[in-house]
Structure 1
Amino acid sequence: MQTLLKQMIQAGLHFGHTKDQWHPKMLPYIYQEKNGVHIIDIIQTWFYIRKVSKFLEICTAQGQKVLFVGTKKQAAQLIETTAIRCNSYFVNKRWLGGLLTNWSTLQNSIFQLKQLQQQPLSNRFQQKKYDKLIKYFRGLQNMKQIPDIVIIIGQQKELNAVLECRKLGIRTITLLDTNCNPLLADLFVPANDDSISSIKFILDQFATAILKGEALYTTSLTEQKTKSI
């Protein structure tokens, strides 16, 4: 436990925003104020990481699918890497309005992308269209229906995603810095959402949990097939 807490502190998970930027609903997760900066209670952070990780393991063991969302600079590459690592979907460039609430229409764009990938791009118009589609839909190419869980990094920047999930009743997991609103998240982890090292630490925990769940799901399917023979 002490080793883990030391790693979390080294990764900067405990650093919040300055006191003039905080959201009052985050008060229960703030340990203290130091030099005008709110310090997040690292013990609670670890508790919520474990809680969310267990939730992810259980859900993915049932075959549920996860979408990672994070478009701010610090998170974008980590979102892509993590999602690919654990066979999940991702949005890391820009959240397009209606991506979930108007999913049937957005599917047409994914279909167009797949068509362009299967043929030579013969002119500049096709190349331009392909570049735009791959930029926004690369992480969604294999998503055949709306996800069961959406993991959000950067709540304030991804409010459109948050609101669409709430409208559809899709469960969200949000990394909450001290300027975020916990009432807009189903599950959350109070932690620094600006530091690359902090984001990476938490996403690594989530990915490990998802991979465990997926392994259990695969084993379950194999056992069911064996029994049916």
Structure 2
Amino acid sequence: MSTRTNYKDLLDAGVHFGHLTRKWDPRMAPYIFMEKNDIHIIDLHKTVAKVEDASNALKQMAKSGKKIMFVATKKQAKDIVAERVNKTGMPYVTERWPGGMLTNFATIRKAIRKMQSIEKLLADDTAKHLQKKERLMLDRQRQKLETQLGSIRDLNRLPAALFIVDIKKEHIAVKEARKLNIPTFAMVDTNSDPNAVDFPIPANDDASSSIEKIIDLASTAIEEGLNERKLEKEKAQADKAKAKQKKAEKAKEKAESTETKEEK
């Protein structure tokens, strides 16, 4: 069976570069291949296997209609995540993680509704009667909320899982997910604890090429799941239409047969 990625692909993307040896977390030892120039080198064979595990799980989640939220607020990751994940239709957080995003989700939903009502108000004809100062104030408020919550505006319930780029930076998100038993997928560098997440992917979480590679693999797996879901739905609809047509044909045959008997 072919895997989604291979050693060379990951090597080319610089996924193998870890942190300085003095900054390491000993719990990452099983995923470290060697030390070179005081830098830990990640064992990419292990990464290939972990990418496969994570991708299969992500694909199944997407196939069953679940939402996976991506979290990446670090400078070199935010644009990559926003651009790639946006294509999958999954929610993502690339600005500051609002504390309580998961544990106090009702408040977040309230803020989203507030943003939507401001948008509605500004788009309405009545907004023309607002003073310039009021309008400006509302627009600033809307922009601020849009920046913070725009990518999760359609999230009506808690996500089924989190995909995190740097678990040290996003430790609050990891903590909230654990508290609520929400499964976590993450890129885990040599300075982090892989046991803090359910699906750790040993990888360089600082270089944009490495982030881009792993995010693309995760997004592709999600897209595969979404496509399979769509095909299954279409097949179910086609089967339903076929059965309906068969039923109608049978009823027609029955009616015609009755008519023939009556004529005789």
Q: Tell me the TM-score normalised to structure 1 length.
A: 0.95
**Code of the aligned partner of 2:77:** A
Task: Identify the match of residue 144 of structure 1 among 148, 156, 177.
Answer: 156
Structure showing the higher helix proportion among its residues: 2
- The reply to whether residue 207 of structure 1 matches residue 219 of structure 2 is yes
Task: Identify the match of residue 56 of structure 1 among 48, 55, 58.
Answer: 58
Shift of 1:161: 0.3
Counterpart CA distance in 2 for 1:42 and 1:183 is: 18
| Pairs within 5 Å for 1:26-105 | 26-105=28-107
SS in 2 for 1:209: helix
**Code of the aligned partner of 2:217:** Q
How many residues align structurally? 228
Partner in structure 2 of residue 16 of structure 1: 18
Shift of 1:204: 0.7
Counterpart CA distance in 2 for 1:116 and 1:218 is: 34
SS in 2 for 1:119: helix
Shift of 1:183: 1.2
SS in 1 for 2:228: helix
SS in 1 for 2:121: coil
Task: Identify the match of residue 217 of structure 1 among 214, 220, 229.
Answer: 229
Shift of 1:7: 2.6
Counterpart CA distance in 2 for 1:34 and 1:74 is: 24
Counterpart CA distance in 2 for 1:147 and 1:227 is: 31
Shift of 1:156: 0.7
Task: Identify the match of residue 185 of structure 1 among 166, 174, 197.
Answer: 197
**Code of the aligned partner of 1:147:** P
Deviations 1:90-135 (A, max 9, x none): 0000100111111111101111111222232752221221121011
Counterpart CA distance in 2 for 1:65 and 1:45 is: 24
**Code of the aligned partner of 1:156:** K
Deviations 1:138-159 (A, max 9, x none): 1101111111011001111101
Partner in structure 2 of residue 194 of structure 1: 206
Q: Tell me the TM-score normalised to structure 2 length.
A: 0.83
Partner in structure 2 of residue 111 of structure 1: 113
**Code of the aligned partner of 1:128:** R
Counterpart CA distance in 1 for 2:220 and 2:113 is: 31
**Code of the aligned partner of 2:219:** A
Shift of 1:228: 4.1
Counterpart CA distance in 1 for 2:15 and 2:142 is: 38
Task: Identify the match of residue 139 of structure 2 among 112, 127, 133.
Answer: 127
Shift of 1:64: 1.3
Bigger CA drift: 188-197 or 117-126?
A: 117-126
> Could you tell me the percent identity over the aligned residues?
33
Counterpart CA distance in 2 for 1:80 and 1:119 is: 27
Q: Unmatched 5+ residue regions in structure 2?
A: 242-264
Counterpart CA distance in 2 for 1:146 and 1:97 is: 14
Counterpart CA distance in 1 for 2:141 and 2:61 is: 36
- The reply to whether residue 159 of structure 1 matches residue 162 of structure 2 is no
Counterpart CA distance in 2 for 1:66 and 1:10 is: 27
